[in-house]
Amino acid sequence: MEDETDADITPQMDKNEPNKRQNCKICERPLKVCWCNYLPNPKVTLKSNTSVIIIQHPSEKKRKIRTALMAVHGLDAGDCKIFSRRKVTETDDLSKLLKLSNAYILYPTKDSRNINDVAHNTEHKSLIILDGTWDEAKKIYSRSPVLQRLPTIHLELKNKSEYVVRTQPSETCLSTIETVAHSLATLENDPTISERLLKPLHMLCKFQLAHGAVEHDNKSYKRVKIDTPLSGDIPEDIT
């Protein structure tokens, strides 16, 4: 497999790193559209003994508009990590981490449980989120028996995605930061967590719209790129 990256790629805030192409070192966006000032301050502290593991398809890293870093930098250091993978093998260190961390994967299946059902569990748990297009997420899952053995959960939300710039294939598909924010708000029983974590997303959308992006109606657009399709509605091609 080409370009297989097995490292934990959660960015560190290294101030000595050269500033490539005038991009912010934290959010990796051009400085003029940096969303870092809208990150929660102080960062969101989780009381529910939860950590977030984002498994990001390597292609996602190449996309300009992505939202996983909003979760990494919006939560206390170490509470959200990104791993770049096309699949998770049995011998992967990540696989060992999943076995040790009471992991649940946000992935809608016929048998997945509503995330509300696990909110009362106060033991340490990891929330696994697949980050990429719907097709990429599906491939990561189908190539990774390690992930298929994890209990699946899904979110049920009434509101459609606020991520108006990068089109979602249906009203129930969410960007990665929305998935993280709403999941944690449920697990922590604290709706303010969503509001705090989603401010950078609102600014990203505002910047993009101000710079000529078109607000897309999710159903009117065919060539879609989504972050994480994790809601209760299961697209036909996943079952």
**Which residues of the chain form contacts with Zn ion (CB under 5 A)?**
24, 26-27, 34, 36
- Sheet of 50-56, strands arranged across: 80-84, 50-56, 125-131, 103-106, 152-154, 113-114
User: Rounded to whole angstroms, how far apart are CA atoms 112 and 89?
Assistant: 22
The residues near 46 (Cβ < 8 Å, ≥ 6 apart) are 75, 76, 79, 184, 187, 188
Four-residue CA torsion sign, 56, 60, 61, 67: negative
CB of residue 62 to Zn ion, shortest distance in Å: 18
Residue number of the CB closest to Zn ion reads 24
C-alpha triplet 39, 45, 51: angle, nearest 5°: 100
The residues near 87 (Cβ < 8 Å, ≥ 6 apart) are 139, 140, 143, 144
Which residue, 26 or 238, has its beta carbon nearer to Zn ion?
26
CB of residue 28 to Zn ion, shortest distance in Å: 7
Which residue, 33 or 106, has its beta carbon nearer to Zn ion?
33
Which residue, 36 or 119, has its beta carbon nearer to Zn ion?
36
**What's the DSSP call for residue 4?**
-
Closest CA to 35 of 71, 77, 83: 71
Which residue, 29 or 182, has its beta carbon nearer to Zn ion?
29
CB of residue 29 to Zn ion, shortest distance in Å: 6
**What's the DSSP call for residue 59?**
G
CB of residue 34 to Zn ion, shortest distance in Å: 3
CB of residue 55 to Zn ion, shortest distance in Å: 23
CB of residue 166 to Zn ion, shortest distance in Å: 18
User: Rounded to whole angstroms, how far apart are CA atoms 73 and 78?
Assistant: 9
Which residue, 25 or 166, has its beta carbon nearer to Zn ion?
25
Which residue, 86 or 166, has its beta carbon nearer to Zn ion?
166
